[in-house]
Structure 1
Amino acid sequence: MSNHTSGKRKQQQRQAVIRLLILSAILVCINILASRFHKGFDLTSEKRFTLSDATKNMLRDMKEVATVDVYLKGKFPAGFQRLSEATRERLQSFKEYAGSKIVYRFSNPLEGKSEKEKGDVAKSLYEKGVEPVSLNVRGEQNASEQIIYPYALVQYRGRSLAVKLLENHLGMSPLEVLNYSESLLEYKLANAIHKLETTIKPRLAYIMGHGEQLGPQTFDLFNTLSHSYFVDTMDLSAEYRINDAIYQAIIINKPTQTFDEKDKFKIDQFIMHGGKVLWALSMLNTPLDSLQKSGQFLTQEYPLNLDDQLFKYGIRVNYDLVEDVQCNQVPLITGTLGNGQPQIELRPWPFLPIFTPTSKHPIVNNMDAVMGKFTNSIDTVITDGVHKTVLLSSSNYSRTAANPVRVSLSMIRFNPDPKLFPRQQIPVAVLAEGKFSSLFANRMAPSFLSVLKDSLKYNFKPSVDSSNAMIVISDGNVMLNTLSQTRGYNEMGYWEYTQSLFANKNFVLNCLEYLTDPHSLLEARNKDMKLRLLDGKRTKDEELKWEALNVGMPIGIVLIFASVYLFFRKRRYEGK
């Protein structure tokens, strides 16, 4: 009997060992597969971990290996640790579709370097577009300064592009800024690869000949566009047409003189042949030099002669000025200090509106506010086959002043009363898409059309063959930069009195990307990640309760299962 029991026990031991070995082998295989394949389930309501279709397609079509060096490694404050982990997760999700074509590394470029070596590294990174950020880190006893690089350097096809991971956003708390930065990670990283993959830059024509802005005030515009586009200046009066086979889009930036019918015809036919247009128009002359001399001026119309053409495309830019309670500030001398120096305060001026995007269109979704100066309002006109999308509009406390408008600095002595600004969401930037009809349809003599076709080899089109698009901005100052005696030229959207940088540059780039790139990744900007913050008061009041629950519940579950197991085991052997 004892031999039988001993043999049975040995058999059970062998079976237990075999089961342990099988279980171990299964766990090893699972770990190997998990290290090679990454699969997750996105249960968030906003699908924050799911890539857009445009990004997936771009990653699947990659021909070569892209290397991403992320400079966020080390002991950082919790916010930057979170940003680092979010970047790692996004790159890992890229690998699910690109496979071995995505290689990423996390490093601290200054780790283990001497002071001289750190200087050389910093200089090298700066030349690549990677700029440092200084952090004040509070320790238990003292505070210290830490230099970090919240950037990723994407290298692909022998070229590199720096990607700024940490965004700035006016009016956001640090937690909201981090959440906002996370929401743009997919777009920024994917767009960098897409730009490096594109070997041929789109070509733009910057239209001249009607008093358009060109010179120091457009320095930042041309410098910014040069990274992604070839930009030619074009005197429209010297050309018989705008070649749509060469130029994907044209820019018409704050003209001040009349467009004659010939130039309007060239623009019209460029549109009918599939060309895109970015209009930035100011309908009223607002002479700032008069403001500096006398403290006021009276607006006058620019004789642009574009009303009928824009109306034909479904847009009307009005001869007025938008006033908004949400506006920029200007300095005002309010008195004299004891030492004889003037006392200066910053006061809001409604003629300098700030436009916070509310549209979910990918051009402006998740984008910071855009700065305006003496902006006109836009009306959309019902046009068959043309759809309009408002990209930028005023706040819920705004109004318009019809031309002629007396603009005076004296009004900034009084804070704007919201009750006097009854209008809401006045459009100031509109995207028009669809099948446009020509302004010159049924107006051209047959003899002229014959000459156009036979001599110039150019066919007149009364309408577009397929859907086309244009964007109209009723503010010719959006694309302009100011000048500084100390800084040289400022960036588009920089307001020196408050040292605020608005999103004018991003807005212009997004508009052109949407117009010129049919494979644009702007869809990835549509993610709107919700920031789910804890109730601070409830967290403090119930801190001990939840700590006890988190510690006690796992132990209690283990004890319950152990008790149940022992109970049934005892009954099993007692039954025998």
Structure 2
Amino acid sequence: FILFAFYFSAAYVLGAPDNGETAGFFIGAVLLASFFSSAGVFFSVISSTFFYSYAYSVLFLILISFLEIFSPLLPSAFRFLSYAGFLNRFEYLASGFIRLEDAAYFFIFTSLFIFLAVENLKIRRGATCKKSFIKQITAFIFACLLTAGVSHIKIKADITENKSYSLSSQTKKSVSQLKENFVIEFYKSPNLPPQLESQAFYAEIILKEFAQLNEKVKLEIIYVDSQKNRDRAILNSVSPVKFEIISEDRTEQTQGFLGLSLKYLDKKKSVPFLSDASFLEYELISSLISLTQPKKNLIFLKNTGISPDFINPYAIEKLKDIYEIKTLSAKEIFQETKESVMVIMGPDKPLPEKELAITQSFISSGGKALIAPDVRKPDEYMNRTYDNYCGLERFFEVNGAKIENFLIMDKDCDYVRINSPSGVSEVSYPLYPAIRNINRTHPAFKNINRFFLPLSSPISLSQKEGVTLSPLAFSSPASWIRTSNKYHSISPFSQELIKNDDDKRGPFAVAVLLNGFLTPDPYLLSKYPSFFREHKKETAVLLISGSKFLYYPSSGAFENLSLFLNCLEYLSGYHQLSNLRAKSDRIRPLIYVADSDRLKIKYAIFFIPLLFCAALFIYVYKKRKIAYFKVRDYFK
């Protein structure tokens, strides 16, 4: 337990594990250790030597593991034997999803093995063999029946921080307000591979819980075991997926179904393949919104560097569910409703004054916006950068958020691949900083553990009347900017990317929320007064100091994409969707550790447990030695 506490303490020092998962893993480990120990005690009692007891214990545990792993290979009549396995049960507990049937399984069979061990000890001491054997058989049958009975009692507790395995209160509220029938058809094939079978099992639990929230939710579980049901699934846009089935003498490819068809009034939507059931609640609610509510407008300003064509197809598909995506000119934006959300990502050239006036008019009169300008732009050879003012910088400066004309460099950064004569190598690139210092309680950054912000600039803040400035993300304390020369080389091999003593040190703000009554640029206000006839209204603008995160191709692409979707959902008022997407995010990167400290931690993790065990051994040895001499002196 002390070593267990030590390793988990190290995890909390280096990162932020889910407390629920940690507790679940601890509970699972204790129950699993008790199960193994009781089995070992039983086989020790019935064995003549230590070697045989060890061999019997290992073979028994391997056998029940194989029954679970290779259950698809068993004939249908014997597949119930897979329920004797402990691997999936421990996996549920370790993930923070405590089910009564899993805890009961370990408790019942631990008690059974202890009971069997005691009965066999009684036989050794002269008890009636026949009577004890009947007791053991009865106890075994009773344990199996009790386990089977408890498996039908669906009592569970989701102790994860994000409540990853249960429906949220927001979902329950949304579903309870349904006035018309919401039909869910869940298509699944029999004999799915084990990994998909577990996804189908979890999906079925969530869907049944979802259907119980409102009588208007009509759930139909359809097993695709006939040509009729297969045709029905394909007709409802649920696609078959190829996978391999390993039989006793060959491997064959087959097709299976695991998807959803959703219907509301005359509208229909499908989830062709449910690859990860942890996203199921998000899929259900986003589909419910798209089927029951009018779409909001999502506006991309034309000719500003990034259009919807540049965005990940998965993100576009999700956005189209709840938004009407438009790419408009400034003149067209002027005629748009202020309920829309405007997106301006990295203009690669200065915007005309009239366009700047119209975009600022849209914002100051109540329109919401996500803006990510690039104040420095690399040349086509990625050797140096040059100034790239688009004109919106003055608007943000007037409202207290000044984007500095420097690039942030950070030791906590991503790697880039470099082609060389010796092959492809990866080198750390300080201009691609990893952003971990995040306000994860804010809906726009809900549970975003880390994202990468290439070629970003610092944002300095000064409070302005009527505007609330909320910094949401910072670079690490190890970051810096080169104020002496902003035109320095950005080549990955450049010596100019090494920190100097005279560089300005971080952390620096890289994402800011401006909330309140934003003021247009006074120059544009006086030159184009006709655009600013409406009174100023309270609004919100998310400013991120670089647009390259949106189409970032490396390891952080998923987190960056989640950040983009979160920001739009926050500005649109769909906070619920970002909360649901956060529930499925189980990846929590460790904090940045300097190379020197990393070496110290590595040796500490290796030597401290060894030193502790050595100290414990010496303590026990000396204590027993003292007791031995006391007994010897007493009998002398």
TM-score where L is the length of structure 1: 0.61
Q: Give 2:424's aligned residue.
A: 344
Q: 1:256-315 deviations in whole A, cap 9, x for unaligned?
A: 33345543332222122211111121110211x233xxxx22x21113232331133342
Report if the CA contact (8 A) 1:325-1:416 is conserved: no
Report if the CA contact (8 A) 1:46-1:528 is conserved: no
The match for 1:159 among 263, 268, 275 is: 268
What secondary structure sits across from 2:444 in the alignment?
A: coil
Q: Give 1:437's aligned residue.
A: 518
**Alpha carbons of 1:375 and 1:47: their partners in 2 closer, same or farther (altered >3 Å)?**
closer
The match for 1:132 among 196, 219, 241 is: 241
Structure 2 residue identity aligned to 1:510: N
The match for 2:381 among 276, 279, 290 is: 290
Q: Give 1:265's aligned residue.
A: 357
Distance in 2 separating the partners of 1:186 and 1:305: 42
Are 1:514 and 2:570 counterparts?
yes
Report if the CA contact (8 A) 2:466-2:518 is conserved: no
What secondary structure sits across from 1:59 in the alignment?
A: helix
Structure 1 residue identity aligned to 2:281: E
Report if the CA contact (8 A) 2:437-2:476 is conserved: no
Report if the CA contact (8 A) 2:243-2:253 is conserved: yes
CA positional deviation for 1:319: 1.6
Q: Give 1:22's aligned residue.
A: none
**Alpha carbons of 1:429 and 1:47: their partners in 2 closer, same or farther (altered >3 Å)?**
closer
Deviates more, 1:510-519 or 1:363-372: 363-372
CA positional deviation for 1:474: 1.6
CA positional deviation for 1:448: 7.7
CA positional deviation for 1:86: 2.9
Structure 2 residue identity aligned to 1:382: Q
The match for 1:477 among 548, 553, 577 is: 548
1:63-462 equivalences under 5 Å are 63-72=179-188, 74-75=190-191, 80-105=196-221, 107=223, 109=224, 111=225, 124=234, 128=237, 130=239, 132=241, 134=243, 151-157=259-265, 158-162=267-271, 165-167=274-276, 182=278, 184-198=279-293, 200-208=294-302, 211-214=304-307, 217=310, 220=313, 225-236=319-330, 238=331, 242-245=334-337, 248-259=340-351, 261-287=353-379, 289-291=380-382, 296-297=383-384, 299-336=385-422, 343-355=423-435, 358=438, 359-367=440-448, 370-384=451-465, 386-394=467-475, 397-402=478-483, 404-411=486-493, 426-433=508-515, 435-439=516-520, 452=530, 459-461=533-535
Distance in 1 separating the partners of 2:498 and 2:371: 31
Distance in 1 separating the partners of 2:317 and 2:582: 27
Report if the CA contact (8 A) 2:211-2:218 is conserved: yes
Structure 2 residue identity aligned to 1:54: Q
Q: 1:462-490 deviations in whole A, cap 9, x for unaligned?
A: x32x4x222112222233xxxxxxxxxxx
Distance in 2 separating the partners of 1:376 and 1:41: 48
Structure having the higher helix fraction is 2
What secondary structure sits across from 1:160 in the alignment?
A: strand
Q: 1:305-353 deviations in whole A, cap 9, x for unaligned?
A: 32331133342322222233444433334444xxxxxx22233323234
Q: Would you say how many aligned residue pairs link Structure 1 and Structure 2?
A: 433
Distance in 2 separating the partners of 1:63 and 1:422: 59
**Alpha carbons of 1:323 and 1:309: their partners in 2 closer, same or farther (altered >3 Å)?**
same
Distance in 1 separating the partners of 2:466 and 2:580: 27
Distance in 1 separating the partners of 2:208 and 2:502: 53
**Alpha carbons of 1:471 and 1:141: their partners in 2 closer, same or farther (altered >3 Å)?**
farther
1:500-511 equivalences under 5 Å are 501-511=557-567
CA positional deviation for 1:96: 3.1
**Alpha carbons of 1:268 and 1:56: their partners in 2 closer, same or farther (altered >3 Å)?**
same
Q: 1:36-57 deviations in whole A, cap 9, x for unaligned?
A: xx99785737472654343222
What secondary structure sits across from 2:428 in the alignment?
A: strand
**Alpha carbons of 1:409 and 1:362: their partners in 2 closer, same or farther (altered >3 Å)?**
same
Structure 1 residue identity aligned to 2:371: W
Distance in 1 separating the partners of 2:321 and 2:494: 40
After superposition, the CA RMSD in angstroms is 4.7
CA positional deviation for 1:404: 1.9
CA positional deviation for 1:64: 2.5
**Alpha carbons of 1:346 and 1:39: their partners in 2 closer, same or farther (altered >3 Å)?**
closer
Determine what percentage of the aligned residue pairs are the same residue: 19
Q: Give 1:548's aligned residue.
A: none
Structure 2 residue identity aligned to 1:400: I
Report if the CA contact (8 A) 1:364-1:391 is conserved: yes
Structure 2 residue identity aligned to 1:302: N
Structure 1 residue identity aligned to 2:547: G
**Alpha carbons of 1:520 and 1:147: their partners in 2 closer, same or farther (altered >3 Å)?**
same
**Alpha carbons of 1:164 and 1:478: their partners in 2 closer, same or farther (altered >3 Å)?**
farther
* Higher RCO (C-alpha 8 Å, min separation 6): 1
What secondary structure sits across from 2:443 in the alignment?
A: coil
Task: Give ranges in structure 1 of 5+ residues lacking alignment.
Answer: 1-34, 168-180, 337-342, 480-491, 532-576
Q: 1:104-147 deviations in whole A, cap 9, x for unaligned?
A: 4253x4x4569xx98x899x48x947573747x77899877676
Report if the CA contact (8 A) 1:283-1:376 is conserved: yes
Q: Give 1:494's aligned residue.
A: 553
Deviates more, 1:277-286 or 1:255-264: 255-264
